[in-house]
Structures are given as structure tokens and as C-alpha cells.
Amino acid sequence: MSLLDVQNLSVTLHTPHGDLPAVADVSLSVGAEETLGIVGESGSGKTMLARSIMGLLPRARASASGSVKLKGVEMVGARASDLRRLWATEVAMIFQDPMTALNPVMRVGRQIDETLRVRLGLSRSAARARAIELLEMVGIPSPEKRYAAYPGQLSGGMRQRVVIAMALAASPSLILADEPTTGLDVTIQAQILNLLDELQARLHTSMILITHDLGVVATRTSHLAVMYAGRIVETGTTRDVFARHRMPYTRALLESSPRVSNPAHTRLTAIPGRPPNLLRLGEGCAFAPRCGFASERCHRERPELSVPDESSHAFACFNPLEVGR
């Protein structure tokens, strides 16, 4: 049995302008100590999918259907009290903006202590000792000093390390890392990603790594899911998706990513058009208006995610790219 099993998950946001299908019929699984990458442009539904898995949807403004099982426990429709028992101890989330994830008027140490005391029942002194140990584990220098600091007194990279320490505090089975390097310079980004790799190997956790940057997931994930307009449009092993991608959107993402091999000042290839308005989705493929391979059928029918052979590589396209071209 998979650690995480998501089946036909759909999430609808109820807005003043109508119902918005933020996540549509998504199925995926994550095994023990496995890393799944989820990639796509901004607005593709990645963060909403992560929040749905966590059970962090605004109940008055969102509704979910389908199934999300973590270690066999159903998350969709679960009571808030039941979800709270799973947070931190079984599943934790690293948010993309540490300044909004951290309370700016509460000392760093107290924020980590809170998780340890509430979830693990540690005493005040034991929680302090464990918090300082966690700060040291994530590579923060002078952890005793940083323990007493406020978030605004730390650099962006240090704040992100604090958020990682909080997520790892109760040794969860699954970590959701939502754009964990947003707003950080390239050197710090690499440090944070390397840190996540090291901690995941040391603590034997599973991870879902969410990003818009295919370069981030290329060597750090075992499986990959590409999202567009709330749906998964291609999925498989990371190696297969990179080497044998069939979905034109996946190729467009790859071509729009910077490469070290390109000469300096090389202009990036932009994906034409803009992401669709989810309130006005037509019946056809959501990517069809931006796709150079779209046919008349693509504009009137929506392709389903399918596996054309015995592999686990699936894609949703009526006119898939030929392998090797």
C-alpha cells in the first residue's frame, strides 16, 4: 500500500464570479521514502492540490470530492480535530513564503516549541533543547542565539531553514514542499534543496516537491506529474518524462527553462499565449489555444490521461509528440 493515495480528487472554489475548478480529477500516489515532483506554471493548481492533501482548504469557500488517503486514513471530509492529529506527526508542509508561514511577533524558538509541546507532549525544557537541535540540524549557525530571534532578524535563507525545522519537528512520514526556494538567490536555492535531500535521506521521509522549475526536479525526484489548468496532463518516472515526454505542454516547459549549456544572454523560449481562465474553460483541451499541434478535435474534446503501453508513463493528448523528436 502506498503511503499517500489520491484518487479522483477534485476541488472547487466558490467565488463571487462563479465556481472555479481549481483541481480536477487528480490521481497520484507516493510510496515510502519516495519523492514526487509536481510541476507547472503559476495557476496550474499545484498549491491547491498540496493544500487539499493537507486538508487546509477554506471550508466555507471550497469543496472537495474524491479520496486522499494517508496511511489508509481518509483526509477528504475528515473533521478538523482528526486532521490536527495528523498534522506535523504524519504530514507537514513547507510553505513557499517563510515570512507568511512564520509569526513575525513570536520568537523563532517559541514557534518550533509549540509544535513539539502540542504534538509530542514535550516539557518546556525538553522542547527548547529539541528546537535548538533542529536549528542546528538544518544548518543555522549559533542556534541558541537564533532560537531567541524574531523572524525579521533572520535572512531569507535562514527563515526558510526555520520553516523546514518546524516541518521536521515531529518527524512526519510525508513532507509537502511548496516552491521551497521562492525568492531566494541561486546559491541559497541550491543550499536549501541540498538540505532537503540530506534530511529526507537521514529521516527516511517521503516528499512531494512542488515547483515551476523543471531544473529543480530533474535530479531530485523519482516520479513527476505535470499539471495544467488543475489537471495532471503527463506523469511517469522523472527519467521518462524528461527523455520521452509526449505532451506538448511538457516540451514547452522544458524549452522555456534556462540551460547552463546555452550561451550568455540567450533569449528564453516563451510559451505562447497565457494560462486559461478556469471560470471559462471550454469543452476541449485547456492547452489547445496555446498548442502548435492542436487539431479541431482538441478544441471540442478533452483528452483523458491514459497509458498507451505497459509502462507507467501516462499523458493526456490526442496528438502526442513522437518519442525522440
pLDDT tens series, the chain, 325 aa: 689 999 999 999 999 999 999 999 999 999 999 999 999 998 899 999 999 999 998 878 999 999 999 999 999 999 988 998 899 999 999 988 888 889 999 999 999 999 899 889 999 999 999 999 999 999 999 999 999 999 999 998 999 999 999 999 999 999 999 999 887 888 888 899 999 999 999 999 999 999 988 888 998 999 999 999 999 999 999 999 999 999 999 999 998 877 666 677 677 778 888 999 999 998 999 999 999 999 999 999 999 998 877 678 999 999 999 875 5
What CATH class does 4-90+179-191+202-281 carry? alpha beta
Paired sense of beta strands 314-315 and 91-94, if any: unpaired
The contacts of residue 120 (CB under 8 Å, 6+ apart) are: 89, 169, 170
Q: Which neighbouring-strand residues pair with 69? A: 5, 74
Q: Which residue has the cell 499565449?
A: 273
Q: How many helices (H) and strands (E) does the chain have?
A: 12, 11
Taking the C-alpha atoms of residue 90 and residue 108, their distance in angstroms, rounded to an integer, is: 22
Sign of the dihedral through C-alpha 283, 284, 285, 288: negative
Asked if residue 30 lies in contact with residue 36, where contact means CB atoms within 8 angstroms, the answer is: yes
Taking the C-alpha atoms of residue 301 and residue 157, their distance in angstroms, rounded to an integer, is: 45
For residue 205, what pLDDT is reported? Answer: 95
C-alpha cell at 240: 521518462
Q: Which neighbouring-strand residues pair with 227? A: 232
What are the C-alpha distances in Å from 295 to residues 233, 280, 287, 317? 17, 20, 12, 11
3-class state of residue 321 by DSSP: coil
Q: Which neighbouring-strand residues pair with 235? A: 225, 314
Asked if residue 39 lies in contact with residue 226, where contact means CB atoms within 8 angstroms, the answer is: yes
Asked if residue 90 lies in contact with residue 70, where contact means CB atoms within 8 angstroms, the answer is: yes
For residue 265, what pLDDT is reported? Answer: 67
Task: Find the angle CA(140)-CA(145)-CA(147) to the nearest 5 degrees.
Answer: 75
User: Considering the entire predicted model, what is its pTM?
Assistant: 0.92
Q: Which residue ranges does the chain devote to CATH 3.40.50.300?
A: 4-90+179-191+202-281
The contacts of residue 322 (CB under 8 Å, 6+ apart) are: none
For residue 222, what pLDDT is reported? Answer: 94
